[in-house]
Amino acid sequence: MTVTVAATQMACSWDTSANVEKASRLIHQAAEQDAQIVLIQELFETPYFCIDEQSKHFDLAHTLEEQPTIKHMQALARSLQVVLPISYFERAGQAYFNSLAVIDADGEIVGHYRKSHIPDSPAYEEKFYFSPGDTGFQVVQTRYARIGVAVCWDQWFPEAARVMVLQGAQMLLYPTAIGSETADPTLDSKDHWQTTMRGHSAANMVPVIASNRIGTEQSQGEEITFYGSSFITDHCGAMLAEADRHTETVLTASFDLAFQHQYRRAWGVFRDRRPDLYKPLLSLDGHSD
């Protein structure tokens, strides 16, 4: 029941085939280190185009069926026998989503998720591009583990993490693009970002794997320096592996899923929940009726 996972981080340019090639190289490196589930960061085919609002960027979206990078990654997954959650910009009819396809180790797509929580702040203008996802949270049985997959801003929400673990996730994976804030250049959210996800790991007693972008990207006067710091926790929120802010990296860690299951069960948290008291969570304003 041991599984090895990898988190990766890389810089992206407007040369999509170079980005995909780089991601493929990192996946190869991870597989050489015995990783069975390899996480690539959010929207790695291009720069983080949500840095501003340009209608031409809708042209970057593809339907799941016609997505060329996913087809490439299906072949790679099959060849290396690895599970690949792949983030992409999805077009579906008149709607656009920030989506993720889960490719199993045989190359088949076994899960599909549309980012539920959509951020919107200076240089993170995602509400211009994406509708809030309509799939609900997704737990996907893959060859090596049942994985909970969510995307970037989702990682700030304890509700999402809890739902995925209640529904059987043995680990949570978050592809991400986060860095500096043009609204406040003095603000560094790196520790806040890590602490929030370490909290999901500790409270739910599952590992968390996060892959974030590196590099500086600019557009029309906006600039973001993505802070990397990709990481993997154990089942108590402790850091097992952590990348720095600027280096292309492959991190790996191994888990004994049976041990973690027993630990989670013995600790008693999932026995003692009080759903009768949680009704206010189903509102935005905290009302309880």
Residues designated catalytic: 42, 115, 152
Residue closer to a second copy, measured from CB, 29 or 141: 141
Out of 158, 216, 254, 259, point to the residue binding a second copy (CB under 8 A): 158
CA dihedral 6, 227, 181, 97 (to 10 degrees): -30
Q: Which of residues 34-63 bind a second copy (CB under 8 A)?
A: none
CB atoms within 10 A of CB 17: 11
Q: Supply the minimum distance, in Å, between the C-beta of residue 153 and a second copy.
A: 7
Which of 2, 136, 216, 259 lies at the binding interface for a second copy (CB under 8 A)? 136
Site for a second copy in 194-223 (CB under 8 A): 195-203
Q: What angle do CA 164, 74, 253 make, to 5 degrees?
A: 50
Determine how many CB atoms are found less than 10 A away from the CB of residue 207: 25
289 is a contact residue toward a second copy (CB under 8 A): no
Q: CA gyration radius for the chain?
A: 18
Among 59, 191, 244, 256, binds a second copy (CB under 8 A): 191
Closest distance of CB 254 from a second copy, Å: 20
- For the bound state, the minimum distance from the C-beta of residue 251 to a second copy, rounded and expressed in Å, comes to 19
Which amino acid would we find at residue 250?
A: V
**Can you tell me which of 57, 237, 249, 257 binds a second copy, judged by CB under 8 A?**
237
Q: How many residues does the chain have?
A: 289
- The answer to whether 120 contacts a second copy (rule: CB under 8 A) is yes
Q: Which residues, numbered 89-118, are part of the site for a second copy (CB under 8 A)?
A: 116-118
Return d(Cα 22, Cα 37) in angstroms, integer.
Answer: 17
Region near a second copy per CB under 8 A, out of 20-28, 85-93, 98-106, 154-162: 154-162
**Nearest CA to 197 among 159, 158, 169?**
158
Verify binding: residue 159, a second copy, rule CB under 8 A: yes
DSSP 8-state secondary structure symbol assigned to residue 133: P
Q: How many residues bind a second copy (CB under 8 A)?
A: 56
The amino acid that residue 187 corresponds to is L
The residues, ordered by sequence, that sit 6+ positions from 284 with a Cβ below 8 Å of its Cβ are: none
| Of residues 107 and 119, the one with the C-beta less far from a second copy | 119
Q: At what angle do helices 68-80 and 16-32 cross, to 10 degrees?
A: 20
Task: Determine the Cα–Cα distance for residues 246 and 228; give it in Å rounded to an integer.
Answer: 6
Strands 84-92 and 37-39: unpaired
Give me the residues that bind a second copy (CB under 8 A), please: 116-121, 132, 136-137, 153, 156-163, 166-168, 183, 189, 191-192, 195-203, 236-238, 266, 268-270, 272-275, 277-286, 288
